Amino acid sequence: MTVGRFRIRSRLGSGGMGEVYLAEDTSLKRSVALKRMAPRLRNDERYRHRFIKEAERASSLNDHRIAGIYDVLEVRDETFLVMEYVEGVTLRQRLKEPFGWKEFLPVAIECAEALVTAHEKSIIHRDIKPENIMLTGKGGIKILDFGVARRLPTHRQITANAPTESGSTDTGSLSGTLAYMAPEVLVEKESDERADLFSVGVVFYETLAGRHPFLAGSVIATTDRILNSPAEPLRHIKPELPVALEQMISRLLAKDPADRYPHAAELAADLHALERGDVPKRRCCWLSPSPPSGSISRDGWRREPHRRKSTWRSYPSRRWPGMQTARRFQADWRRRSRPG
């Protein structure tokens, strides 16, 4: 089968938006991925127009961590998106095996830096999930489908039509996959790039814990958990994780956008600091459900109970005001108890 100058070789897969094919560009002699828009979406003129405009915006992204969008073809009343073909496996496929935090860190940094590039151009992904993150053979990552996320209906637009995938459909004004959507998106409030950061937090949590932080047995139960229930602390599942990494992910998963990282650049900076072995500058201990266990030294630093004695973590005593009060009382009592 041939579409314009593209010769289709094989079918790569299908999703809510349509089917994806591996094709050869006969003019430039390169492999590309062709995404064919589903018929029910082609017939929606408003969606089709918006799809093309968003693909045009996303094509302006030029970053080695983002799969490129080359062109939009309209052939015989069908619409095709011409994209970079990326060899590798999706993060979803890789999650079949455990992920160590040191192996996870380079992946997290690349994801954060890809979001920095996109958000600087006011492009929001809206559908960050393991299926849209490719792990390449060279040890890098590629984020797929920037700017062309699926559309979800608002509660006023939901009809008797059944959802197509995981509680989502492809018409309406909301975007994304429900299990990875930020709370403000679910309740139809105004959202910005911090919604992408929440989705990234869910992906990071799932990668490290091996399970989704909010997924339940039904769409309603999953939505309720995203809106109202905190995720189980990661260190309850993997005690070997650095405290700073758990705090970063807790901050990403904050229900209120104001409590998350304001920009992906700050997340990337903290991840780089952790990779270097530094303590990230932006602390978020107050987001943890309770202070971590461990002995407190005289200068207010906490010793990790499961680490060697030479390993210390910075937990200034000012984070627990009661500790300062107790120390002042103890010093005063000792001073009064001295003989003479």
> Do 56 and 118 belong to one domain?
no
Give strand pairing partners of 35.
20, 81
Which range, of 24-28, 89-93, 165-169, 331-335, averages the lowest pLDDT? 165-169
Can you say whether residue 179 is alpha, beta or left, with left for phi > 0 and alpha for psi between -120 and 50 degrees? alpha
Whether residue 254 has pLDDT greater than 50: yes
What the block records as the tokens of 272 is 């780089």
- Does the pTM surpass 0.85? The reply is no
Confidence of residue 54 (pLDDT cuts 50, 70, 90): confident
> Do 277 and 147 belong to one domain?
yes
> Do 146 and 268 belong to one domain?
yes
Other beta carbons less than 10 A from residue 168's beta carbon: 22
> Do 155 and 169 belong to one domain?
yes
> Do 4 and 118 belong to one domain?
no
124, 196 Cβ separation under 8 angstroms: yes
Average pLDDT on 118-140 reads 91
Q: Is 34 helix (H, G, I), strand (E, B) or coil?
A: strand
> Do 242 and 170 belong to one domain?
yes
Q: Give the span between the Cα atoms of 35 and 189, in whole angstroms.
A: 30
pLDDT of residue 246: 96
Q: Is 25 helix (H, G, I), strand (E, B) or coil?
A: strand
**Cα-flanking dihedrals φ and ψ of residue 174, to 5°?**
-105, 160
Q: Tens digit of pLDDT for each residue in 170-216?
A: 334 456 789 999 999 999 898 899 999 999 999 999 999 999 999 99
Confidence of residue 147 (pLDDT cuts 50, 70, 90): low
> Domain holding 216: CATH number?
1.10.510.10
**pLDDT averaged over the chain?**
79
Q: Give the span between the Cα atoms of 91 and 205, in whole angstroms.
A: 13
Name the active-site residue from 25, 127, 196, 270: 127
* Dihedral over alpha carbons 71, 73, 79, 80 (to 10 degrees): -50
Q: Give the span between the Cα atoms of 83 and 229, in whole angstroms.
A: 38
Domain assignment present for 133: yes
Residue at token pair 């797929």? 144
Domain assignment present for 295: no
> Domain holding 48: CATH number?
3.30.200.20
Confidence of residue 52 (pLDDT cuts 50, 70, 90): confident
Confidence of residue 148 (pLDDT cuts 50, 70, 90): low
Looking at this protein, which amino acid is placed at residue 12?
A: L
Q: Give the span between the Cα atoms of 165 and 203, in whole angstroms.
A: 18
pLDDT of residue 206: 97
Average pLDDT on 9-36 reads 89
pLDDT of residue 165: 40
> Do 175 and 35 belong to one domain?
no
> Do 81 and 91 belong to one domain?
no
Alpha helix (H) ranges present in 97-218?
101-120, 183-186, 193-209
Last residue of a domain, one of 52, 85, 118: 85
Domains in the chain, number? 3
Domain assignment present for 33: yes
Using alpha carbons only, give the angle 224, 111, 174 rounded to the nearest 5 degrees: 40
Other beta carbons less than 10 A from residue 247's beta carbon: 22
Which of 77-81, 84-88, 135-139 has maximum average pLDDT? 84-88
Burial, 201: exposed, middle or buried (Cβ in 10 Å; 0-12, 13-18, 19+)?
A: buried
Domain assignment present for 297: no
> Do 123 and 7 belong to one domain?
no
Last residue of a domain, one of 85, 108, 129: 85
> Do 285 and 314 belong to one domain?
no
Last residue of a domain, one of 32, 51, 85: 85
Q: Tens digit of pLDDT for each residue in 276-327?
A: 988 666 544 434 443 444 443 433 444 444 444 443 344 344 444 444 545 5
Whether residue 150 has pLDDT greater than 90: no
Q: Give the span between the Cα atoms of 255 and 226, in whole angstroms.
A: 8
Looking at this protein, which amino acid is placed at residue 199?
A: S
> Do 74 and 121 belong to one domain?
no
Domain assignment present for 200: yes
Domain assignment present for 180: yes
> Do 132 and 260 belong to one domain?
yes
**Cα-flanking dihedrals φ and ψ of residue 148, to 5°?**
-130, 40
Q: Tens digit of pLDDT for each residue in 258-287?
A: 999 999 999 999 999 999 988 666 544 434
Segments forming the whole domain that contains residue 322: 302-337
Q: Give the span between the Cα atoms of 314 and 92, in whole angstroms.
A: 34
Residues in the chain: 340
127 is catalytic: yes
134, 89 Cβ separation under 8 angstroms: yes
Q: Give the span between the Cα atoms of 151 and 228, in whole angstroms.
A: 24
Domain assignment present for 296: no
pLDDT of residue 196: 95
pLDDT of residue 301: 40
Using alpha carbons only, give the angle 306, 311, 312 rounded to the nearest 5 degrees: 100
Q: Give the span between the Cα atoms of 282 and 244, in whole angstroms.
A: 10
Whether residue 151 has pLDDT greater than 70: no
| DSSP letter for each residue of 211-266 | S-SS--SSHHHHHHHHHH-PPPPHHHH-TTS-HHHHHHHHHHT-SSGGGS-SSHHH
